[in-house]
Structure 1
Amino acid sequence: MNWRKGYTVFKWIAGIVLSLMLLISALLLVFKEDIKSYALNEANKYINKRVHISYIDVGIWKSFPDLTLSFDDVLVYSKFDKLETSDTAIFAKKIDLRLNPLDLLGSKMDVHRIDIERAKLNLKILKNGEVNYDFLKPSEDTTVTPFEFNLKKINLRATDFTYNNESTDQFYSAYFNALEFQGSFNEKQFILDAQTKFDINTIQSKSVRLVENKKAECDISIQMDQINDVFEIISADLSINQLPFLIKGKVSNDSLDFYIGAKDLNLADVAKNFTLQELDVVDEINGQGKVNFELFIKGANEKTASPAIDANFDVKNGSLSDQGFSLSQINLKGKYSNGVENGKEQLTLSTLSFYTLNEKFTGNLLVSDFDRPRLRGKADGLLDLKAVHRLFGPFSLQELSGNISLKGDFDLRMNQPKTDQKDISIYDLRASLALENISAQFVDDDRLLHIPNGNITIRNQFAGITDLALSLNNSSLVLDGEFDNLANYFKGEGNLKVDANVTSEALFLDDLSTTNEEEIKSKAWILPNDIDGKVILSLSKVEYSGHEYSEIKGRMDFGNRQLYFPLVEGVSANSKIGGSLKITEEKPMFLLVETNLNSDAVNFEPLFAEWNNFDQTVITSENIRGKAAIKLNFSGPFDLYEEKILKDDFDVKAHVKISEGALINVLPFKEITNSLKASGGNLLIPKSKIDEFEKRLLNLQFDSFENEFSVKNGVITIPRMAINSNALDVNLSGTHSFENVIDYSFDFRFREIKGMENSEFGDIVDDGTGFRVFLKMSGTIENPKFSWDKEAKKEVKEEQREQAKEDLKSALKTGFGINKKDSTIRDLKEKEKQEEKIIMDFGKDTLQDEFSPANKKKKKNALQRKIDAWKKENEKEKPTFEIE
């Protein structure tokens, strides 16, 4: 019987619930449009800005037992007084107002909860104090409304928040995963509880980013007093990346006063989580020591006035160690002020000391004018670059190690730290640096830079470098020199003056090219226009693109995007070469090279081997012998950006005298004899004579001859010249293009092909007369074509006739006195045999003195004495900056 009563009760309850659900559903259908209309009318009474809503709905079952009034895609544009912009002030994908469904039966509907999802809240204050967040306005309607807000809870999920105060240069940005407010919001005095997990994107005061990209949690209770316009933090637990902070504070109608502090934080945790904007996060550093931190925020509660922000911090007995470096006994004391109270925004490190590699480093630092930071301070001690790279890097380096012993004072300003870090004003700089065993390697670069030793002394405008040894891959050099106008150069008010010596045992220029194949090639100036001076070069060995040079000595003058070598000499292909060289950058990465080079003995065989036979296969190093005295004038452009050698624009003149020459087994010479055989020459010349001539031609040895060649528009021009050889004496002229297109003309006496004849009275001596053969060789050097050269034959005949006339007139004048008074007719004289020599005149070698070991040592000693004097003066003078 009892179960029947229970069943009956259940049916009644189920029926009542079902009836209520049906009733509520029916009421929703009946009053749905009225509820929406009431909601919009009520919103317009309280909202000061135009609201865009894409859809409104009323439901109950997804939020049962609450009734939900849902607004989708709610958007409010920023409006400053009467100025409305297209910027977003508020956007929410969904806003739900929760009510009691039984309120539908009465005349009142109380909203007790608000849920907001995927929202963006952008609060902004202009320089004139106008804001975009005055969303609510006082209602002037005193009639009874169907809505009342008796809020107990507000939930925000996935919300982006920004606050930008242009008048005080404050910017805050955060992302709230979940934010929950609880309290009696309709009361005049109540306690507001809030819990949240959020990501701090940026907290920035003026140009200083105090916190960036950190995860945080907060659990806070605030006493809200709307009667006296005061709210006060009762308790607050804030953790940033799991570091705990204590918060106290009070905000009234006219003032605010906050305190944020932390004591005994672990040094390693602070190093990981609270680096400056310019420093990357330091991970996995094993640290000890304690950090104390205090932040005070005080001031007027005004939109256009920034409160005073002051912070104190210190590190005591700390240590850090990781990946091959260690810092111990770290002690630091500093403070920051935004300048509201004292008028100067500055960061001060009054004490900084630590030990590394068993040596102590001490210093202090004052940073002011953060938009154009001015840095003043002192430094004395040893710096471990591995620690610097790990803590403050990576500076685009994948590796940095070594030591720098530093002692000095500095006062300088970074004028454009974000756009041009080179733009530095130096007010006072006195420092001595000793570099030891430094290694550096850039990101995505296989090359390793090593500095085993070196000393640098700086005194304002001057810097002296002694015994600075550098190596890059297989290349190495030593630099000694003086740099002047240093401070003005960094300010952009003058050129840097350089006077230096560079010596090297081995220099591979290919080492200077980056190994990063993905590096984007950009068209930029290569040669500087703000550095002037000279460098004396003494290079034992230089290699570039497979070519080797040795014993190079020269002076390099540079300035205004130009390099000029008034004297350079060295050995290439076993030949000593000297002269001058000028390189001018006419536009970015477009070079004009001008040179005058001389050599009295260029050996052909090693020259052809060194230069890969000049990219041709007709005459190789195996085919050529001999040497030449050369005087070369060259001018030509090179486009480094397009990687083009503009050969067609080369302008070259070369005076060449060749001696002891030989051409062995040159294939085109065999083509000559084949041409004689094929053209019917064997009818006039016995085959045995042609074969004998071919043997001599394929082992061609010639006496000395000289000529002046020229290159213009991509074509080498060879003026007519006589070549005497064991095979025949030939006159040769023609052109040869860089594409190996040839057009040669040559002639020789026919009897020389037949060979010397004998008689019973001895050898038949050639009197220089007889039939001459004129041939033309055209086509390409790989595929020459031979033909009879009738035009050349006519020109020679004409020249011979004119010469015969002149000889006859001279004989008549000399022998018979005819036309004695005609000065245009020369006397007939026997020609004297002359031997010519090309003498390479370098002028008086005043520059050679700069290469002498005695003068180099004298110059280096003078520089060292100057540097020693600077060091003594630096020690005697009082420091320009002290921090108390």
Structure 2
Amino acid sequence: MNENSVGKKIVKRIARFFLAVLLLVAILFLTSRFLEKKVVQLMVEQINQSVEVPVFIDNIEFSLLRKFPLATLQFHNVTIKSAKEFHQTSFSGYQADTLLYIKELYLAFNLTRLMHHEMELTKAYIDNGFINVLVDKSGKANYSVLKEMSLEKGDSSNSFNFQLKFIEIKQFDVRFHNQFKDVSASLTIPAYKLKGEFYKESYSVATSGTLKVEQIKQGEIWFRPDVPANLNLQFDILNEVLTIKQSSLKSSGIQLNSSGTVTFGENVKLDLQFAGDKVDVKKLSRWVANKSLSGMELSGYLSFKGVVSGIVNEKVSPKMAINFSVSNGTFKHQNFDEKFHHIAMKGSYSNGNQRNIISSSLNFEQLDLSLGKSSINSEFKVHNFKNPSFDFEAGIHFFGEDLAKVVPKDFGAIGSGTMVGNFHAQGTIQGFPIHLDQFRQWEYSGTLKIQDADFQTTDKTFGFSQMNGDLMLLNQNLSVQNLNGTMQQTSCRGSLQVNNYFGLFSNRQEVVGLNTHLQLGNVTYPDITFLFTESDTTKSDYELEVEARLFAESYTQDAFKAQRLRGKVTYAKSKVQVDSLNFQSLGGTAAAQIKYDFSKPNYSLLSIDGRVHSMDINHLLTTFNNFGQGFITDKNLQGQLSSDFETEMKFVNGTLVAESIEYLGYVRIDNGILQKFEPVKALAVFAEIPELERIEFSSMENNFLISDGIIQVPKMDIKSNAFDVTLYGQQYFTGNYEYHLQLFLSDFLVGKAKRLQKQQTEFGWVEEEESERTKLYLMVQNKEDQFSVTVDKQAIKSQLKAGTKNEKKEFKKALHDEFGWFKKDSTLTKPEKKEKKKQEFSIEWDEE
């Protein structure tokens, strides 16, 4: 055979092959056109026989070529509506009116059987869509859409034969929400395949593919992984019992294994076991999206075993129980620099007898952790995940340097020291995040022994060191007994109690109470300035109220120093009150009630109701800088002061406003010395009586009134070494004054000391009766540094009207002889002219 004949035969064979193919395609095309109408009609009839709700399909295409030798139906935009009795409006964020949506659905049928007008489904392909599995609060489901069908064997009317062996799913979303159980979940299936003889009563199924769980939520427990998971599942089905032979879920290095059975029937019954060994907690934490865990970093290894058993339907959940443990754990919160380590846990979870979130419980029978050298050994229980109630109990052994690493930086600086004790808390969690009002409603108790603790506030206005005590906590109140250490810069011991300490952390103004009984050492004013800072009350988020019984060895403020102080101090709304204050100072004793109000924005107000006895008045004036006035100072007055008084004064920026002083009180000065006092000094110069420069007296007492910068001096008698005098008047803080004096003329003319010397005889002192002595009335004034001594005209007029004519003449003659007054009076002997020192003062007399 030559080459040409061989080539022709090959060409003929190829031509025949292509012709056969074309003929087959033509036959298939004509057949598909012939069968399409019949197949679509059969399919629609089958769907309508199966469901009770509307089914919408945009378009159905029939093809013998796409999956040849299988015939295929391609459904475009298949929509099956939700059940009619289902409450769609209670679901937001879902297309609740839709049970199932498939963008592209391919069903493959046996072509031979199809020629005999029978539909034998063998394969299914789903591409892009979703299914909503929803149960409302009354327990009604949106998937209760299937009709009850009787498929008795040998029923020739049934033209649909289920011979499914393969299912492939791509880009499909599953959304589940059971409001009755408060459980929800959603997952995406990028690609998944199932192989098995699904049509048999007994068959095996092998699956492979990828799942991406978007979220699983039950109550406040919320799983939300951000990585996909590979699920490999192999199971057998026999007599409505699904037996899981092998199941593994792998995601980001995590592997979970499960096994067990699922029994189908009127109710579905589960009997499943699952386990994980040394699962990486850090990787697993990416699955959990609980709000309370936000900002936390976790690590360690988790091992667990669990069972799921019992009936499951729309209203009933299976029983679930899990035992777990964590080893080599660490924990860090984003607000803290330090990490908790050596975390060890052992516990269990159960959904309880009711098998829902209300009866669920989580029990940590061991929850231990360390921070630096510090440790906490605790137990923790949570019950009812819908409205969680908890019980927490811990043993604590903390070192100050470790505690400083986890407390907020704006709280203050914590130094050395140790705290050993126990703590218990229980309550109900009403939601996340947990707010301060929830913390208030919980119950607390505990004890803590504090040793050598150091602390200082951020602004350094308050602190303590080497503090020891027994701390006791009961709900919102905290107390410390056997307190001793150094507070600020002074030693202290005693006890204290803080009421409503949560108010320190509140964002609204609340009252925080402090009751204390303290014995203090040597206190200085800088130690207590934190009480007088406006930011402590008027500008902060809490109001501090203090009631304290204090004993102090001493108190020092600038030049003032007091010893053996005791009293009751109350403090509220920027006001300090000291009751029953007693102390020793300036050589004497004092008792007082003091009120200090610094609530005003521009000034503070001090008021004192007090009593002093035998205080050194010179030292008093020196210590208090003469109380801001220059009328009578430490250079003028000495003696022992006793007084009962009430006074009030203003301070601006810590400086006394002298004009604001209001004073009313009884004053007594014993063993006194008045020297270089301007009103008396002026009289001494005029009368040429040097004794007036320094007046010594055994006692002086009077009531004084100070108001509007004026000192009112009521009438009083002073017996001194210079003369005996009765005086009254007023003194201005500006330096001006006006005093009215009544003294004996003889003392004025020759001085008391000289007169007494003249009257000394061999029989001793000869003293005149006061009724026989002539009195002199003078007025001493200073106006704008212009001093003058004048006769007190009004006083003399009153006296002369009451006296006799002879007394008047004798009185005028004495003044005429001494001072040359009454020159025009011819009844008086004209004195001889003498050269006199020119006086800076003038005395005038009204002859009338």
TM-score range, shorter chain: 0.5 to 0.7
Report if aligned partners of 1:379, 1:406 keep a CA contact under 8 Å in 2: no
Quote the Cα distance in structure 2 between the aligned partners of 1:190 and 1:117: 26
Shift of residue 94, structure 1, vs aligned partner: 0.8
Report if aligned partners of 2:61, 2:75 keep a CA contact under 8 Å in 1: no
Report if aligned partners of 1:297, 1:309 keep a CA contact under 8 Å in 2: yes
Shift of residue 310, structure 1, vs aligned partner: 1.0
Secondary structure, counterpart of 2:96 in structure 1 = strand
Shift of residue 249, structure 1, vs aligned partner: 1.5
Shift of residue 123, structure 1, vs aligned partner: 1.4
| 1:33/1:527 CA distance change after superposition, 3 Å | same
In structure 1, what is the equivalent of residue 104 of structure 2?
A: 95
In structure 1, what is the equivalent of residue 54 of structure 2?
A: 50
1:430 aligns with 2:446: yes
| 1:483/1:592 CA distance change after superposition, 3 Å | same
Shift of residue 259, structure 1, vs aligned partner: 0.8
Quote the Cα distance in structure 2 between the aligned partners of 1:152 and 1:375: 51
Quote the Cα distance in structure 2 between the aligned partners of 1:385 and 1:93: 63
Q: Map residues 129-144 of structure 1 onto 2, 5 A cutoff.
A: 129-139=139-149, 144=157
Secondary structure, counterpart of 2:54 in structure 1 = coil
1:118 aligns with 2:128: yes
Q: Map residues 563-712 of structure 1 onto 2, 5 A cutoff.
A: 564=575, 581=597
Provide the identity percentage.
Answer: 14
Report if aligned partners of 2:32, 2:64 keep a CA contact under 8 Å in 1: no
In structure 1, what is the equivalent of residue 778 of structure 2?
A: none
Quote the Cα distance in structure 2 between the aligned partners of 1:440 and 1:274: 38
Quote the Cα distance in structure 1 between the aligned partners of 2:466 and 2:62: 79
Shift of residue 314, structure 1, vs aligned partner: 1.9
Report if aligned partners of 2:53, 2:84 keep a CA contact under 8 Å in 1: no
Quote the Cα distance in structure 2 between the aligned partners of 1:131 and 1:38: 29
1:414 aligns with 2:414: no
1:259 aligns with 2:277: no
Quote the Cα distance in structure 1 between the aligned partners of 2:410 and 2:169: 43
CA deviation profile, 1:301-334 (whole Å, cap 9, x unmatched): 4432222211111235x25499986766554321
| 1:485/1:83 CA distance change after superposition, 3 Å | closer
Shift of residue 408, structure 1, vs aligned partner: 0.9
In structure 2, what is the equivalent of residue 820 of structure 1?
A: none
Aligned residue type for 2:277: K
Segments of structure 2 that go 5 or more residues without pairing to the other structure are 90-94, 489-493, 519-525, 551-555, 558-567, 579-593, 609-623, 629-647, 662-706, 711-733, 735-848
Shift of residue 174, structure 1, vs aligned partner: 2.4
Q: Aligned to 1:294, which of 280, 283, 305?
A: 305
Quote the Cα distance in structure 1 between the aligned partners of 2:487 and 2:27: 90
| 1:564/1:405 CA distance change after superposition, 3 Å | same
Quote the Cα distance in structure 2 between the aligned partners of 1:389 and 1:151: 67
Quote the Cα distance in structure 2 between the aligned partners of 1:598 and 1:57: 98
Q: Map residues 687-766 of structure 1 onto 2, 5 A cutoff.
A: none
Secondary structure, counterpart of 1:305 in structure 2 = coil
In structure 2, what is the equivalent of residue 463 of structure 1?
A: 478
In structure 2, what is the equivalent of residue 357 of structure 1?
A: 372
Report if aligned partners of 2:393, 2:425 keep a CA contact under 8 Å in 1: no
Q: Aligned to 2:324, which of 297, 313, 328?
A: 313
Segments of structure 1 that go 5 or more residues without pairing to the other structure are 472-478, 514-524, 542-553, 568-577, 584-590, 605-629, 635-653, 659-704, 709-723, 725-884
Quote the Cα distance in structure 2 between the aligned partners of 1:14 and 1:509: 103
Shift of residue 232, structure 1, vs aligned partner: 1.4
TM-score by length of 2: 0.53
| 1:582/1:44 CA distance change after superposition, 3 Å | farther
In structure 2, what is the equivalent of residue 175 of structure 1?
A: 188
Report if aligned partners of 1:414, 1:421 keep a CA contact under 8 Å in 2: no
**CA RMSD, Structure 1 to Structure 2 (Å):** 6.3
In structure 2, what is the equivalent of residue 150 of structure 1?
A: 163
Quote the Cα distance in structure 2 between the aligned partners of 1:280 and 1:452: 36
1:70 aligns with 2:86: no
In structure 1, what is the equivalent of residue 789 of structure 2?
A: none
In structure 1, what is the equivalent of residue 201 of structure 2?
A: 188
Quote the Cα distance in structure 2 between the aligned partners of 1:81 and 1:186: 32
Report if aligned partners of 1:92, 1:119 keep a CA contact under 8 Å in 2: yes
Shift of residue 284, structure 1, vs aligned partner: 8.6
Q: Map residues 847-862 of structure 1 onto 2, 5 A cutoff.
A: none
1:163 aligns with 2:183: no
Quote the Cα distance in structure 1 between the aligned partners of 2:402 and 2:174: 37
Report if aligned partners of 1:28, 1:58 keep a CA contact under 8 Å in 2: no
Quote the Cα distance in structure 1 between the aligned partners of 2:463 and 2:222: 36
Q: Map residues 498-513 of structure 1 onto 2, 5 A cutoff.
A: 498-499=514-515
Shift of residue 248, structure 1, vs aligned partner: 1.2
Report if aligned partners of 1:291, 1:313 keep a CA contact under 8 Å in 2: yes
In structure 1, what is the equivalent of residue 9 of structure 2?
A: 5
CA deviation profile, 1:504-560 (whole Å, cap 9, x unmatched): 7899999999xxxxxxxxxxx97569x8656999xx99xxxxxxxxxxxx98845xx
In structure 2, what is the equivalent of residue 17 of structure 1?
A: 21
TM-score by length of 1: 0.51
Quote the Cα distance in structure 1 between the aligned partners of 2:407 and 2:102: 41
| 1:250/1:484 CA distance change after superposition, 3 Å | same
Quote the Cα distance in structure 1 between the aligned partners of 2:487 and 2:216: 43
Secondary structure, counterpart of 2:353 in structure 1 = coil
Q: Which protein shows a greater Rg?
A: 2
Quote the Cα distance in structure 2 between the aligned partners of 1:172 and 1:63: 36
Q: Which deviates more from structure 2 when the two are superposed, residues 29-38 or residues 235-244?
A: 29-38
Quote the Cα distance in structure 2 between the aligned partners of 1:251 and 1:118: 28
| 1:177/1:408 CA distance change after superposition, 3 Å | same
Aligned residues: 574
Aligned residue type for 2:391: R
| 1:139/1:467 CA distance change after superposition, 3 Å | farther
In structure 2, what is the equivalent of residue 245 of structure 1?
A: 256
Secondary structure, counterpart of 1:295 in structure 2 = strand
In structure 1, what is the equivalent of residue 349 of structure 2?
A: 336
